[in-house]
Amino acid sequence: MNIKHRLIVMNFLEFFIWGSWLISLGGYMILTLKFTGVQVGSIYGTMGVASLFMPALMGIIADRWINTERVLGACHIIGAVLLFWASTVTDPAMMYIIMLLNAMFYMPTIALNNAVSYAVLKKEGIDVIKVFPPIRVWGTVGFICAMWVIDFGHWTLSPLQLYVSASSALVLGIYAFTMPACPPVRETKKRTLLSSLGLDAFVLFKRRRMAVFFFFAMLLGAALQITNTFGGTFLEDFKMSYADSFGVKHPNLLLSISQISETLFILTIPFFLNQYGIKRVMIISIFAWVLRFGLFGFGNPGDGLILLVLSMVIYGMAFDFFNISGSLFVEKEADRSIMASAQGLFMLMTNGIGAFLGGAFSGWVVDHFTENGIRHWPSIWFSFAGYALLLGLIFPFAFTYKHSAENDLKPVIH
């Protein structure tokens, strides 16, 4: 198997693990375990709490002491054990603790997966910007396949979704140890205290454009967390009025259109970055979030199904144009010696602080618009759309970056 195919398998499994529970666990906790919106939001927020420090910490370990692929494998094996444990839990406090521990070992793997992919491709002399997006798209395919497995198995409201995730995590944990070696960068020069602590990726904040970029990436990370947490619950709540509709019978299949859209938009990233640059790509992403939430507010699984489908399609642009493009932008801006740490820092801002804020904010909004157990979804989604619109109005003035094809796509020689 050539290296591209090996990376495809790795990316597929990386996101199959997440897709097995990320979209459906919220519905399981609210409708089966009877957790409140705030409890569910806080449990999803564990990904944000863990990402405040664990991706950066694991990035430091990979940059300084242990091969990146070994760190990746160990994290997945530990995560598998925790997911098996979570499947047996019905208490919200215990679920919070276990999912926090799981997040501490899973969230770093997204950045580590990118770091391994970039390192292996560069070692083979392959153009990362052109080749990585078609490889990464298989991660989204893995996410979609996981959602379909859970949906066709009728496990969206069952703990069996966690068994599926745990099993795939164990497989990837073992597989990661077979990947080409990605050793730490050995330097002969004397390190500063900042470098010794592995915090040198934070020097990126000294550049104004990078500081602004990371700040808005954090705020967009909050937007992503909102739909991850309550998208499934939103569709499940239509069971009373649209019990026979496709969206209610197969919520994961409908939501998976979002990930199918991702696979298409990932492939357009090199073109959009080359033609428009990171600033315009980010602006497109922000306004796509406005449409994503707004269409949810107007749609339903009956005569409004087309609006939900459009929202799913737009999600691909909203997610990819800040998440994947952002990762590539950070890779271009960061020095080779801090590559894993820089990807960890990006994860810290998006899936760390951003996800934490998104989980807390979305849980509060859902409970605020819930009366006698009935959630008023249009008000909920329009609140989120207003949030994204505010970001879209501010970002063009805050982020100053002059685009050229060379600036945005040509790798920096480190």
CATH of the domain at 40: 1.20.1250.20
Q: How far apart are CA 248 and CA 233, in angstroms?
A: 10
Helix/strand number for the chain, H first, E second: 18, 2
At 297-354, the pLDDT tens digits run 999 888 889 999 999 999 989 988 888 788 878 877 777 667 667 776 787 788 778 8
- Label residue 65 by pLDDT band (50, 70, 90): confident
Domain membership of residue 24 (yes or no) is: yes
Domain membership of residue 190 (yes or no) is: no
Length of the chain: 414
- SS3 string, 197-208, reads CCCHHHHHHHCH
Q: For residue 405, what pLDDT is reported?
A: 54
Query: Taking all residues of the chain, what is their mean pLDDT, rounded to a whole number?
Result: 84
Domain count, the chain: 1
Domain membership of residue 188 (yes or no) is: no
Q: For residue 408, what pLDDT is reported?
A: 52
C-alpha distances out from residue 90 to 34, 98, 403, Å: 9, 11, 51
Q: To which residue do tokens 């090996």 refer?
A: 6
At 370-389, the pLDDT tens digits run 888 888 999 999 999 999 99
- Nearest CA-CA partner of 17 in 68, 61, 82: 82
Q: For residue 239, what pLDDT is reported?
A: 81
- Nearest CA-CA partner of 310 in 295, 300, 298: 295
At 80-137, the pLDDT tens digits run 999 999 999 999 999 999 999 999 999 889 888 988 998 888 888 887 777 887 888 8
Main-chain phi, psi angles of 370, to 5 degrees: -115, 125
Buried b / exposed e over 265-285, threshold 16 CB at 10 Å, is bbebbbebbeebbbbbbbbbb
Domain membership of residue 337 (yes or no) is: yes
Domain membership of residue 375 (yes or no) is: yes
Domain membership of residue 382 (yes or no) is: yes
Domain membership of residue 87 (yes or no) is: yes
Domain membership of residue 129 (yes or no) is: yes
Structural domain for 305, as ranges: 3-182+197-409
Q: Per the structure block, which two tokens stand in for 215?
A: 């700040």
At 138-189, the pLDDT tens digits run 998 899 899 889 988 989 889 999 999 999 999 999 999 999 888 886 655 5
